[in-house]
Amino acid sequence: MICGWLSNNKIGWVIKNRKIVSIQIGNEIFIETLQAYQISISGITAFRSCRAYSRNAGTIKNVSFEMLATKGLDKDFLRIRRAYILQLINQPKSIEQIIRHLDNNNVPNITEETIKDDIKNFKRIGLEITFSANKFKLADNIALLEIPINLRHIRISPSNLEQTKQQLREELIYLDHQYLDILDFSIAGNTGARQFEVRIVELLNEIIIAKHLSGGNRPEIIGFNPRENPEDCIIMDSKAYREGFNIPANERDKMIRYVEEYNAKDNTLNNNKWWKNFESPNYPTNQVKFSFVSSSFIGQFTNQLTYINNRTNVNGSAITAETLLRKVEKVMNVNAEYNLSNFFEELGNNTLVA
């Protein structure tokens, strides 16, 4: 939509183009021609004019207080923290100076990684921030940013979710911190259910081959490893429940059906043949496992895992979004004594993965 507007004859900053994209899935190669866009000479000139080079002090950019966080339990806390950071780095400031400034303004206990993540996000929305001599400096001039008077002298405590994110920022060294939004989606209910599924697939693709199976009458998420002639595989079901997920009977029985369909691979059971998504080019050699992913688990969920295991003779698990992030991080850490075999083994422990 934005590129379409920029390609308008009256603007001309972007040129419409066509691009051929190919992707190999198993032994098949799929080719598609897609709409593409290329920045024009005038677009490059316009882009450079808004960047803060030595001969250009930077443009004035409108950033309101409300833009710094749009929704969620912690929106005021995040807005205040980010506003103070932006105001402070109008002059070069070190991480230590930023932390002290936040402490002095009722925003205590903010970690170095949290501040770095905020600054990365400022850059992503188009703000020009430089780093020199261990100090950050906002190169643009910001207008409209003002902390409301009623929020200037009070301490707003972060939610448990935000505290968990701050702790994970210190732990996640190899995994991109953008995946922390999985925690938000895990409690978003129906409005965030699809995003939760997609982000889990993207997260798993950091360490295995994962697929999001759209459409009904099939699992939401599958995964296998390695890419060619895989050994291990998993069927996953994600549930975005704020108050926790107890694996009710209908969800339990769906998982049983998926496991049975995978093992049988019989078109008469399900003519959409979703299990063929595991072929690469052969089916995984080890027994399939199942897992449920949610923000937390409540009630008699372990009994439900046992029921599925007894009915199918297949091992499975429940795993929280927070734990899944930590497990992916451990696999990505080549120095850790934890690998994909350990990961799949834990997914088949028939209880909550710790």
Least reliable range by pLDDT among 214-218, 275-279, 330-334? 214-218
Domain containing 38: what range?
2-49
Q: Stretch 141-163: mean pLDDT, rounded? A: 93
Q: In terms of Cα–Cα distance, which of 244, 61, 221 is closest to 140?
A: 61
> Cα(79)–Cα(70) distance, rounded to whole angstroms?
9
pLDDT-derived band at 5 (thresholds 50, 70, 90) equals: low
Q: Is the pLDDT of residue 296 over 70?
A: yes
> Cα(111)–Cα(126) distance, rounded to whole angstroms?
24
Burial 177-212 (b: 16+ CB within 10 A, else e): bebbebbbbbbbeeebbbebbbbbbebbeebbbbbb
Residue 125 lies in a domain: yes
Q: Is the pLDDT of residue 55 over 50?
A: no
Residue 346's alpha-carbon distances to 143, 175, 316, 327, 349, in angstroms, are: 51, 20, 9, 10, 5
Do 177 and 300 fall into the same domain?
yes
Sequence letter at residue 186: S
Do 220 and 270 fall into the same domain?
yes
- Per-residue tokens: 113: 């990684």
Residue 352 lies in a domain: no
Residue 354 lies in a domain: no
Do 180 and 322 fall into the same domain?
yes
What is the reported pTM?
0.84
Q: What is the pLDDT of residue 54?
A: 45
The H-assigned helical ranges of the chain are 2-6, 41-49, 75-88, 95-104, 112-124, 149-152, 160-171, 181-185, 193-204, 249-264, 301-312, 321-332, 340-346
Do 77 and 220 fall into the same domain?
no
> Cα(154)–Cα(223) distance, rounded to whole angstroms?
47
Q: In terms of Cα–Cα distance, which of 68, 67, 47 is closest to 59?
A: 47
Q: What is the pLDDT of residue 35?
A: 78
Do 44 and 101 fall into the same domain?
no
pLDDT digits (tens, 9 = 90+) for 180-227: 999 999 999 999 999 999 999 999 999 999 999 988 899 999 999 999
Residue 105 lies in a domain: yes
More confident residue, 27 or 216: 216
Do 240 and 317 fall into the same domain?
yes
pLDDT-derived band at 243 (thresholds 50, 70, 90) equals: very high
pLDDT averaged over every residue in the chain? 92
Do 95 and 231 fall into the same domain?
no
What total of structural domains would you count in the chain?
Answer: 3
Residue 352's alpha-carbon distances to 50, 194, 291, 297, 300, in angstroms, are: 51, 23, 10, 8, 12
> Cα(263)–Cα(288) distance, rounded to whole angstroms?
8
Do 29 and 103 fall into the same domain?
no
> Cα(284)–Cα(206) distance, rounded to whole angstroms?
19
Do 219 and 287 fall into the same domain?
yes
Residues facing residue 142 across a β-bridge: 61
Q: Stretch 14-31: mean pLDDT, rounded? A: 70
Q: What is the pLDDT of residue 286?
A: 97
Q: Is the pLDDT of residue 48 over 70?
A: no
Q: What is the pLDDT of residue 13?
A: 84
Do 219 and 117 fall into the same domain?
no
Residue 258 lies in a domain: yes
Do 136 and 275 fall into the same domain?
no
For the chain, count helices (H), then strands (E).
13, 11
**CATH value at residue 185:** 3.40.91.30
Do 6 and 135 fall into the same domain?
no
Residue 203 lies in a domain: yes
Q: Is the pLDDT of residue 51 over 70?
A: no
Residue 112 lies in a domain: yes
Asked whether the beta carbons of 61 and 143 are under 8 A apart, the reply is: yes
Residue 54 lies in a domain: no
Neighbours of 311 (CB within 10 A): 14
**CATH value at residue 71:** 1.10.10.10
